Structures are given as structure tokens and as C-alpha cells.
Structure 1
């Protein structure tokens, strides 16, 4: 070994000139870009799974506490109505359109009151573990664990309303 040898000086085993070649630089940039892209996609999927899980939790909470469901739906209706009131007062919409959109808000409120909260809880849990895995994140695992109980509660609700169903209909 000569003193100019990088290994003799404790330096890298590969000469630095190798990294100056254009094809090597392009390969490294491409590999780095692919890794960053993969990390971004994985983070996005995990965040979507978390959001789906949280929606499932919200609907399960609404199933267990119908008063919270009513309160949140009423607040949402009031926000929409106040936005319409502001538009009407500012002259941005005519009275006929205001009446029509207010009727739509009331219809949506009534429809959402009647919907099964536990059904939506199950669907959101199912969405988390079917659409947002892999990776097998914490949210996917929690959703997969809670979905069967939500499905059973949904079945109980359907039976109590004398609605006939088969298991395949709930998938």
C-alpha cells in the first residue's frame, strides 16, 4: 500500500471519482427520489387510515350517545344556515335561492338524523383496513380490531327494526 492509497489513510474503499460520473449521479438521484416518493406515499396512506379510523370512532360515539349526534348535526345545520343568512343579507343570493338551499339543509339534517351511526362506524373501520393497508399502521390494526364489534351492533340494530338481511349484504 502506498501513502496515496485511500485505504491506507483510512479513507473510503471506493475512489471519489466514481461518484463524479454522470450515470452514477443520475442513479443516486433516481434512487433518492424513489425513496422520498415512497416515504411520502406511505405517510399519506397512514394519515388517511388515521382519518378513516377517527371517522369510525366519531360514528361509534354517535351510536352510543345519540344526544351528541343530534348536537353536532344541529351545530352543522346552524353553521350552514348562518352562512346562507349572510349571503342573503349581503344580496349575493335571491330569496328564492335562499329558500331552496335552506330546504336542502333541512332535508340533509333530517336524512342524517335517520341514518344509522353504527353502520357508518363499521364502513369507516372497514375503509381504514381495506383501502389504507399496507402499511399495517396503528390505525389499520385498531380499525381491524373494532370492525367486527361494529358490524355486530349494526346487525342488532337491523334486527331490532325487523329489517331482513344476509351477511353478504353488509359487506
Structure 2
């Protein structure tokens, strides 16, 4: 079984972008969300998309002394996996970026722990090559735009987003479309 097939079976919520289909709808499941859908277009064929929402360490981390707010059991919404990249995506309806920045940073750090854990399983238990560690990591936040404001996704404003501390953020309205290559 190939590693990406193992991910699909093991996580049960993986999707592969099919040839000829180059877009994916990132959907927020919270019924109170204002930013419910963002479509990523021009995705490479055969991109693997994992929904990280239901992955947790409840059975592993039981120490009550670790504060819940630390973020060990929170993850971003999606990860897009290509041949050479992992792009973590978090969606937030709140247009006030400063109110969510620390929470998002902790989620991205938790994602790093999660993929490190998966790679350790692949390498040490399944005798497979590491899957995530050979790819570059990128971190992206889609957050709601202020009412009556123009969405901001100007490529000139892009910052390096190769660490959880320096993620790229896009101020978007519900139903926005964004190019895949703007995410890294």
C-alpha cells in the first residue's frame, strides 16, 4: 500500500484532485461562520487534500495539567499535499486578524507535531519513507473581510509563509476564489 493510500484509508477524510479538475472548495462547517466557502483554483493534478478537523490526540494526551488553550488538540482545517509541498489552510470568519493570530499560530504548530507523528509512524512502524518531511511546509489563513471592504489578495503583499509564526493571510468574502500558487 502506498503511503498516500494509507493516509486516505487511515484518515478516512482524504480527497484526491482528479485529472481535469483543478479546483477545491474549502468549506467551513460551523453553522455560524460568515466565511463558509473559499474555492482554490488552478491546483496541480493529483493533489491530496486532507480535512484535519476530526484528528485529535484525546487518547494520547490525557494530562489534565496541560491547559486546553495550549492547542495540542487543535489543527488547521485543511492540508493540501503535492509532490513537493504541504500547505496548511485555516479558515476564520473574524475579520479582526489580531484577535485570531495567536490561536492560528498554535494550530499550525500543532499541525507540525501531527505530521511529525505521522512520519514517525511511517518510518519506524511501517518501514516506509517519511511522507511529509520531504516536502516544504506553507501556512495560510483565510479570514473574513470587513463588511463593505474589498477582499485583499494582492500578490505584492505576500510574505514568506514557511513557518507557523509567519503565515500568509487573505481577507476574503464568502465564495471567493484564490489561485493555488498564491498559497506558497
Higher helix proportion: 1
TM-score bucket (shorter structure) = under 0.3
- Please report the TM-score for the alignment, with normalisation by the length of structure 1: 0.26
Higher strand proportion: 2
The structure with the largest alpha-carbon Rg is 1
